[in-house]
Amino acid sequence: MPGLPMSDLVDLTTTTLEDMPKLDFEVPLQYQDYIAVNQFLRGGGKNLEIQSGYGIRRNIMLEQSGNAEHVQLYQSTAVNVADVQSQLTAPWCHAQTYWSIERREALMNRAPARFVDLLESRRVDAMVSFADLLEDRAWKSVNTSGDTINPRGIPYWVTIGANGENGFYGGQTRDNAGNAITSVGGITPVDLDRWCNYYSDYAGPTAADAMVKKMHEVYRKIRFKAPRIVADLEKGPLSGFAIYMDGTTIDEYEAYTRKSNDEVGFDVGKFAGATAFQRTPVTWVPPLDTAQTDYRGANPIYFINHNKFKLFILRGDNLRESEPMIDRNQHNVITTFVDLSYNYCCIDRRSQALIATL
């Protein structure tokens, strides 16, 4: 490796990368668990859609023609062809991470094993940083109504109503500062209750009996169904259902299940070794522990139907790893980039719910 011209360093790095495992999110550090990353990017399947185009577009039916009627014999009919389609839209959000190697670092790590370790550590560090960014933004709304830089996370699509409300009142959404955004995914939910998530106000997790009663109410209203077999939790048709809580709320919920399990049976407590409600997994989301009461309420409980809440990724830009390239401003440095173009979309807000304290 004497001298090690930059072209040789590029070739060496490229060859080493080819022998490394496929890109993945590993060695998480900031959060104890990466719910969004695991559910969407690593879970794949029905939660992930790859498509092209200049943005995300979906036609969804939010109205009805009202053409059904009772008639008499030989009654004439004025045929009505109604436009019942609305168009859901979302922009692509572009994210990147990268790592760099300096030529003289390679000289200091001449042994092949040491160079591989150096490259691998830089690569893992970049992907951990990427995982932290994606997980954090998945549990936030947009910064402003015109924000096209950041993705539309779960609180953008599943939002609070007003104090004391119980019903499909999660209409207009809010940005991260709590400002109202009238159009949600390009659709204005005014007079369209089919484009509203269910919202229920509650007194907080310490009022455990009332909290569980609210959870039963939400479960019925958005048509969650308890799985009949354990396999449904992992790969069956009901595997897309999940309940998410912050740390304080899940602590109170688990304490309640320990005290009440003999009385409530299978409704709350453990199912298949996991904390559950009506046999649906209840999961702690570390980013929800950060107080954001102005737009998602305090101690939020999200009921998410992942069959209707998807991650869209631009075809050809799904964790695309570039070839190592020489930095024009630092002639001894080569850099490798990883790119992702994506956004979250809820295609049925009515099948989602939020319980929160305002």
Burial of 316 (0-12, 13-18, 19+ CB in 10 A): exposed
Selection from 269, 344, 284, 287 nearest residue 312 by Cα: 344
Which amino acid is it at 17?
L
pTM: 0.83
Burial of 223 (0-12, 13-18, 19+ CB in 10 A): exposed
- Provide the residue-wise pLDDT of the chain in tens; the chain has 358 residues: 555 666 766 666 776 666 666 666 555 567 777 888 887 876 655 677 888 888 888 887 776 556 677 777 888 777 665 555 678 889 999 999 998 888 787 777 777 777 777 888 888 888 889 999 999 999 999 999 999 999 999 999 999 988 778 888 888 899 998 899 988 998 887 656 788 999 999 999 999 999 999 999 998 888 766 555 555 555 555 567 899 999 999 999 988 887 765 555 456 656 555 788 887 889 999 999 987 777 888 999 999 998 889 999 999 998 898 888 888 788 888 888 999 999 999 998 999 999 999 8
Distance of CA 335 to CAs 11, 25, 78, 97, 122, Å?
13, 19, 67, 10, 11
Q: How far apart (Å, rounded) are the C-alpha atoms in residues 275 and 253?
A: 9
Is residue 224 classed as helix, strand or coil in its secondary structure? coil
Axis-axis angle for helices 6-18, 112-138 (nearest 10): 70
Distance of CA 134 to CAs 152, 163, 297, 357, Å?
11, 31, 22, 26
Other Cβ atoms within 10 Å of 108 Cβ, number: 10
Task: Enumerate the domain spans of the chain.
Answer: 166-310+347-357
Residue 289 sits at φ, ψ, to 5 deg, of -75, -20
Q: How far apart (Å, rounded) are the C-alpha atoms in residues 246 and 300?
A: 7
For the chain, strand residue ranges (E) read: 48-51, 56-61, 85-90, 93-102, 166-170, 173-174, 180-181, 197-201, 241-245, 268-271, 274-277, 280-284, 298-305, 309-321, 325-326, 333-346, 353-357
> Which residues are bridge partners to 302 per DSSP?
244, 354
